[in-house]
Structure 1
Amino acid sequence: MEELKSKAENLAEHAGDYFETHFKLAVLNATDKATGLASQGVTVALLTVLSLFVLLFSGLGLSWWIGNAINNIVGGFFIVAGVYGLLIAILLLFRKKHIAPLIRNFLIARIYE
């Protein structure tokens, strides 16, 4: 009888150790995923800022070049602004049907990777 009681206590202790180890593993996995997503977020933010600078200065250069070509600097800026407006309208049109699912699927794939 004493042996059975000892085995039951031993089993309960091992089960507690198992659950504690499983919990620690889950915390480590969650931390790994969170740090991976955070590092990707910082990278994407940095690339976005740099891309915006490239877009800004290339837009200014293109506006100036078109303005010189048509002998109207202001007209060049309005033409490039119109192109940017057209791109924004296209993005707004397709954001729910094509862009949002693409971003959502990318994030889900990164989380469950």
Structure 2
Amino acid sequence: MEEDPKTKVQEIKEETKDLLESVTDYLNTYYHLISVTVAQKGINIASGAVNAVILIIFGFFSFGFISLGLGWWLGNLVNNRIVGFFLVAGFYIMIMIFIIIMRKNLILPFLRNLLTKKVYE
């Protein structure tokens, strides 16, 4: 016994409608997944930036007070406070020169790798 062609067409319409709903649900879910992933990466980047800014501020204060203390202490050792501060400044200038010389070989590749890891984390 053969099915009625109208019934068969109706079944195909129903299956097509179900398939279309499933595809629509899939696309909506995928869109929400991408939205959540992008938001999560944005939050991670923002929280990392805030954390870095806070650490940098406290680092500058600590670095400044340690430098002042070291300059004062060295000045007392050589009986001339000005010379103590110049010794600390000279040490920092030597570190800056070293960083400038090594930036292309060590520092820039390190920062590039660090940022790449953070982006794909």
Q: TM-score, normalised by structure 2?
A: 0.86
| 1:10 alignment partner, one of 10, 18, 36 | 18
The 5-angstrom pairing of residues 17-28 of structure 1 reads 17-28=25-36
Give the distance between the partners of 1:101 and 1:34, measured in 2 at CA.
24
Larger Rg belongs to: 2
| 2:39 alignment partner, one of 31, 53, 56 | 31
Q: Which runs of 5+ in 1 are unaligned?
A: none
| 2:116 alignment partner, one of 103, 108, 111 | 108
Query: Quick check: 1:95 aligned with 2:103?
Result: yes
One-letter identity of the residue aligned with 1:75: V
Query: Quick check: 1:50 aligned with 2:69?
Result: no
Give the distance between the partners of 2:43 and 2:57, measured in 1 at CA.
21
One-letter identity of the residue aligned with 1:7: E
Of structures 1 and 2, the one with the larger relative CO (CA 8 A, separation 6+) is 1
Give the distance between the partners of 1:42 and 1:95, measured in 2 at CA.
25
One-letter identity of the residue aligned with 1:33: K
Give me the identity figure in percent. Answer: 35
One-letter identity of the residue aligned with 2:24: G
Aligned length: 113
Give the distance between the partners of 1:83 and 1:112, measured in 2 at CA.
38
86-95 or 52-61: bigger deviation: 86-95
| 1:62 alignment partner, one of 57, 63, 70 | 70
One-letter identity of the residue aligned with 1:48: I
Q: Which runs of 5+ in 2 are unaligned?
A: 1-8
Give the distance between the partners of 1:95 and 1:106, measured in 2 at CA.
15
What is the deviation of 1:94?
Answer: 1.6
What is the deviation of 1:96?
Answer: 2.3
Please tell me the root mean square deviation across aligned C-alpha atoms, in Å.
1.2
What is the deviation of 1:36?
Answer: 1.2
What is the deviation of 1:58?
Answer: 0.7
Deviant stretches of 4+, over 2 Å? none
